[in-house]
Amino acid sequence: MVRMRHKRAYRYRFYPTLEQAAALARTFGCVRYVYNWALRLRTDAYHGRQERIGYHEASAALKTLKQQPETAWLNAVSSVPLQQALRHLDSAFRNFFARRAKYPTFKKKRGRQAATYATSAFRWDVQMRTLTLAKMDAPLDIHWSRSFSGTPSTVTVSRDPAGRYFVSFLVEEDVEALRVVPAMVGVDVGLKDMAVLSTGEKIANPAHLRRSERKLAHAQRALARKTLGSKNREKARLKVARAYAKIADQRADGLHKLTTRLIRENQVICVESLAVKNLMRNHALAKAISDVGWGELVRQLEYKGDWYRRALVKIDRWYPSTNRCHVCGHILDSLPLNMRQWTCPVCGVWHDRDINAAKNILAVGLTVNACGEAVRPGRAMPNPARPDEAGIPQI
Ligand SMILES: [Zn+2]
């Protein structure tokens, strides 16, 4: 069996003491401040003087900033997460210049807060499995939901808008490639179902997701009725954040189950490489697609395919997978979005819209694969939504 080393992130919930929560709040605040300060510095330099400020220049400027009396409070927290903030910003800029992400934006107090510690700023006790961060006396109270081997190179602590704390360990691990299987599958990412397979199977969105979505809608309506700046509004805002976090978790959970299964059962997986960015401009479609998490599905298939040596073939968008009859190849002029079934006017075969599309995706994917264009498993793309964990799969 082939074994390969991969970077992997393991995420756990933890429960800080009041003291730790206060120390983290300070650190998050300083990290956010430094990130936003450096973003402004780089933006001004670029627009004002057409000058590019890199990580090293920003780092030198940070040193000066910490010596100023009005920003001396930055010295109250560990310097490592502040340096890491500059690195995150640097990779956000690199993603921007490589056209993989939008221009970096300022971090907001309301959003997800995070701080990354490199080895010099945390103590990891392998035997006791305890993690102690710089400037803290006691280890974090981590709830171990799964185990990992290997030594963490960085740890990222975060607090989501729902007020939950997470710690993410980045470790290098050996991953064993899976045994070769003779199966191949085409996957159509539907708007109605989570996915439709060329085998004819439809994978529905989990039912509990619908329930959670109704709860979220309810919480959002309640929030809209509250007066700005009131205590009740803050409570309602937290309720919305919690409902939202739950949906995000359930969705990610469903996607992980699906992608793991697809990777285990198939040697070659064909998907349409929808230009999501373009589709996002169409508003009605945008909601549906972001709901289904198309980008996340492909991202997971990419890195899992990379780990387990499976091939992911992405089909160009111009291929008429939906309105082409997979039996005789006849192409319809148009097929309205609401037509879920159709009958081919040439060969007379009845088609389920999505299953027919999945079969076409498989067929064209195999042609591409045979030509050797995409036999190599795709590389994981950085997730622009979280530049601090760019490209590192979350499991
Ligand atoms: Zn036909």
Question: Quick one: tokens of 393?
Answer: 């799969």
- What's the mean per-residue pLDDT of the chain? 85
What is the predicted pLDDT for the residue at 11? 93
Q: How far is the CA of 268 from the centre of ligand 1 (A)?
A: 26
What is the predicted pLDDT for the residue at 287? 58
CA 230 to centroid of chain Cα atoms = 33
Distance CA 225, CA 236 (A): 10
Q: Assign 111 a pLDDT band (cuts: 50, 70, 90).
A: confident
Closest CA to 296 of 358, 373, 384: 384
Q: How far is the CA of 330 from the centre of ligand 1 (A)?
A: 5
Distance CA 198, CA 326 (A): 11
Most confidently predicted of 63-67, 240-244, 254-258, 374-378: 63-67
Chain segment 138-194, per-residue pLDDT in tens? 999 999 988 888 889 999 999 998 999 999 999 998 888 888 888 999 998 766 678
What is the predicted pLDDT for the residue at 369? 66
What is the predicted pLDDT for the residue at 191? 64
Q: How far is the CA of 324 from the centre of ligand 1 (A)?
A: 8
What is the predicted pLDDT for the residue at 190? 65
What is the predicted pLDDT for the residue at 384? 35
What is the predicted pLDDT for the residue at 283? 56
What is the predicted pLDDT for the residue at 319? 74
Least confident range from 17-31, 107-121, 236-250, 341-355: namely 236-250
What is the predicted pLDDT for the residue at 189? 78
How are the residues of the chain apportioned to helix, strand and coil, as percentages rounded to the nearest 5? 45, 20, 35
More confident residue, 282 or 23: 23
Q: How far is the CA of 273 from the centre of ligand 1 (A)?
A: 25
In the predicted model, what is the mean pLDDT of residues 240-257? 85
Among the options 188, 213, 388, 389, which is catalytic? 188
Most confidently predicted of 2-6, 29-33, 271-275, 306-310: 29-33
Location of structure tokens 């919930």: 13
**Residues in the chain, total:** 395
What is the predicted pLDDT for the residue at 62? 97
Least confident range from 189-198, 238-247, 307-316: namely 189-198
Least confident range from 81-90, 243-252, 363-372: namely 363-372
Query: Quick check: is 176 catalytic?
Result: no
What is the predicted pLDDT for the residue at 286? 55
In the predicted model, what is the mean pLDDT of residues 77-81? 96
Distance CA 315, CA 280 (A): 19
Q: How far is the CA of 219 from the centre of ligand 1 (A)?
A: 48
Distance CA 366, CA 55 (A): 44
Location of structure tokens 């039912």: 207
Q: How far is the CA of 349 from the centre of ligand 1 (A)?
A: 6
Res 395 pLDDT > 50: no
Among the options 302, 354, 388, 389, which is catalytic? 354
Q: How far is the CA of 341 from the centre of ligand 1 (A)?
A: 13
Is-above-0.85 flag for pTM?
no
Closest CA to 395 of 13, 9, 7: 9
In the predicted model, what is the mean pLDDT of residues 96-101? 86
Res 293 pLDDT > 80: no
Distance CA 239, CA 361 (A): 41
Beta-carbon contacts of residue 97 (< 8 Å; ≥ 6 apart): none
Q: Can you state the angle between helices 294-308 and 231-265, rounded to 10 degrees? A: 40
Strand partners of residue 203: 195
Question: Quick one: tokens of 252?
Answer: 């990610």
Q: How many CA atoms lie within 13 A of 159 on its CB side?
A: 21
Distance CA 207, CA 194 (A): 11
Chain segment 321-339, per-residue pLDDT in tens? 888 999 999 999 888 877 8
Q: Can you state the angle between helices 55-67 and 79-97, rounded to 10 degrees? A: 150
In the predicted model, what is the mean pLDDT of residues 274-290? 53
Strand partners of residue 276: none
Q: How far is the CA of 204 from the centre of ligand 1 (A)?
A: 27
In the predicted model, what is the mean pLDDT of residues 101-109? 91
Location of structure tokens 């959970």: 253
Q: Assign 274 a pLDDT band (cuts: 50, 70, 90).
A: low
Among the options 272, 302, 306, 388, which is catalytic? 272
In the predicted model, what is the mean pLDDT of residues 236-260? 86
Torsion angle of C-alpha atoms 378, 384, 389, 394, degrees rounded to 10: -60
Q: How far is the CA of 348 from the centre of ligand 1 (A)?
A: 6
What is the predicted pLDDT for the residue at 198? 95
Least confident range from 27-36, 191-200, 362-371: namely 362-371
In the predicted model, what is the mean pLDDT of residues 70-89? 96
Res 277 pLDDT > 70: no
Question: Quick one: tokens of 93?
Answer: 């800029």
Query: Quick check: is 188 catalytic?
Result: yes
What is the predicted pLDDT for the residue at 386? 38
Q: Assign 14 a pLDDT band (cuts: 50, 70, 90).
A: very high
Inter-residue contact 35 to 113 (CB < 8 Å): no
